Amino acid sequence: MIRTLQKKFIVTAMIAVSVLLLVLLGAINAANAVSASSESDRLLEMLSSQEDFGPREDWDAMPPELPEGELPRNGRRQFFTREPDEDDRLAALTFTVRFDAEDALLSVDTARIASVSEEQAEALGREALAAGRETGRLGAMKYRVVSPAPGYRTVVFLDVSSQRDELGRVAALSGLGGLLAWLAMLGLVALLSKKAIRPIAVNLERQRQFVTDAGHELKTPLAIIQANLDAMELIGGENKYSRNIRSQTLRLSTLMQNLLTLARLDENSAAPDLTPLDLSALTREAVEMFRAPAQLRKLTLATAIEEGVTVNGNRVMLQQLLSTLLDNAVKYSAEGGEIAVALKQGDKAVLTVSNAVTEKPPIDRLFDRFYRADSSRNQKGGGFGIGLSAAQAIVERHKGSIGAAYEGDTILFTVKL
């Protein structure tokens, strides 16, 4: 149990660390991406602002038609009024494609980029115009469509592949840093986990030791009471008082035996001795043992047990598991109902025990120690509320699983080994 508790502590701590790292690194990369996108948008807007034929009030004075292939000049500024210096921010990988009112190509300026030919630039420009958006992106190129004069359109492209590569490098480096930080935290949490759970481990150890010691100390008084009771009945005969004493003595002996079983399962964390077992034969033997108690309560025992179902298990533990499930079904089944026991072989051996019930305690409480649906803890049923806890511990020691579910008025226990 201590190892299980330590593993849960490590897993919980690392889940919290993982979420924190993912949120932190995600926020850093998202902020970096937004910043890079904003920077490229600002640069693209600055480049686009150079596409101008002069003051807007002079546009009407421009000739409405121009000879083919000729650009409007009239002493006004060209499309780019200045050549950027080497260290200028505008000296980016950019190109410009200009069209007239009929979408005929006027000019292509690819002086600032070597990876795009004029033909490719024209094709990208027409694709941008066809998209019908003022701004957009085509592959590694961001573009902006401006109208420097009535009837004319210019598409300014900006190569943002370097920004994309930089974002990838930042993401890779942050991911690597996050992974190293996660591994470092894993080692630190594993190192500190023993110290963190030490108080709980000490308390659990004291509880187990108390149960073990109490069980062994009570064995002798119970044996003496039982022996004296037998002697009294030999001398004076059986009466209702002796029967009550015997009943309660047997009940207390059973309780101590169950407590000692749980204590042994908790104390011994090593795997039990497992051998190949015929689970089919073991299940049939257990069913036969409970036919008589079932008949006393007018219950029907129905079986569907496949032949040759084998598992690697501990015979004593599996016998106790089967006895617990069948005893639980007999005690809490609605009188006159049916108990169904099935066993089949799949990827694992699957054992199911079902019975009709009159009460439906919460499923998530059934395997809690000392939990009973009857809050008054009436002794008529004879249960202590620890049988299913012992069954769960046995299944876990066999690396299996056990669960319960309601199907109408029937409860179904499923064991996979």
Listed by start position, the domains of the chain span 275-416
Q: How confident is the model at residue 414 (pLDDT cuts 50, 70, 90)?
A: very high
Q: Is the predicted pLDDT of residue 84 greater than 60, yes or no?
A: no
Q: How confident is the model at residue 269 (pLDDT cuts 50, 70, 90)?
A: low
Joined together, the tokens standing for residue 293 give: 């108690």
Burial 183-219 (b: 16+ CB within 10 A, else e): eebeeebeeebeeebeeebeeeeeebeebbeebeebe
Query: For 278-312, how does the pLDDT look when each residue is reduced to its tens digit (9 = 90+)?
Result: 999 999 998 998 888 888 888 888 889 988 888 88
How far apart CA 365 and CA 370 sit, in angstroms, is 10
The DSSP symbol for 314 reads -
Give the pLDDT of residue 67: 45
Query: For 117-138, how does the pLDDT look when each residue is reduced to its tens digit (9 = 90+)?
Result: 989 999 999 999 988 888 998 8
How far apart CA 281 and CA 309 sit, in angstroms, is 9
Residue type (1 letter), 31: A
Nearest to 21 by CA among 177, 142, 140: 177
Joined together, the tokens standing for residue 300 give: 């029907």
- State CA 310 to chain mean position distance: 32
Give the pLDDT of residue 30: 93
Q: Write phi, then psi, for 81 (nearest 5 degrees).
A: -90, -10
What is the three-class DSSP state of 25?
A: helix
Q: Write phi, then psi, for 274 (nearest 5 degrees).
A: -110, 135
In the chain, DSSP finds a helix count (H) and a strand count (E) of 8, 12
Q: What is the DSSP string of 46-79?
A: HHHHT---S-GGGGGGS-S---TT----TTS--S
Give the pLDDT of residue 64: 46
Q: What is the 3-state secondary structure (H, E, C) of 250-305?
A: HHHHHHHHHHHHHHHHHHCCCCCCCEEEEHHHHHHHHHHHCHHHHHHCCCEEEEEE
Residue type (1 letter), 157: F
How far apart CA 130 and CA 127 sit, in angstroms, is 5
CATH superfamily of 275-416: Histidine kinase-like ATPase, C-terminal domain (3.30.565.10)
**Percent composition of the chain: helix, strand, coil (DSSP 3-state, to 5):** 55, 20, 30
* Mean confidence (pLDDT) of the chain: 80
Q: How confident is the model at residue 195 (pLDDT cuts 50, 70, 90)?
A: confident
Nearest to 388 by CA among 375, 411, 369: 369
Helix 315-332 × helix 279-289 angle, to 10°: 40
Give the pLDDT of residue 71: 44
Query: For 12-43, how does the pLDDT look when each residue is reduced to its tens digit (9 = 90+)?
Result: 889 999 999 999 999 999 999 999 889 888 98
Selected residue with higher pLDDT from 54 and 361: 361
Model pTM above 0.75: no
- State CA 34 to chain mean position distance: 30
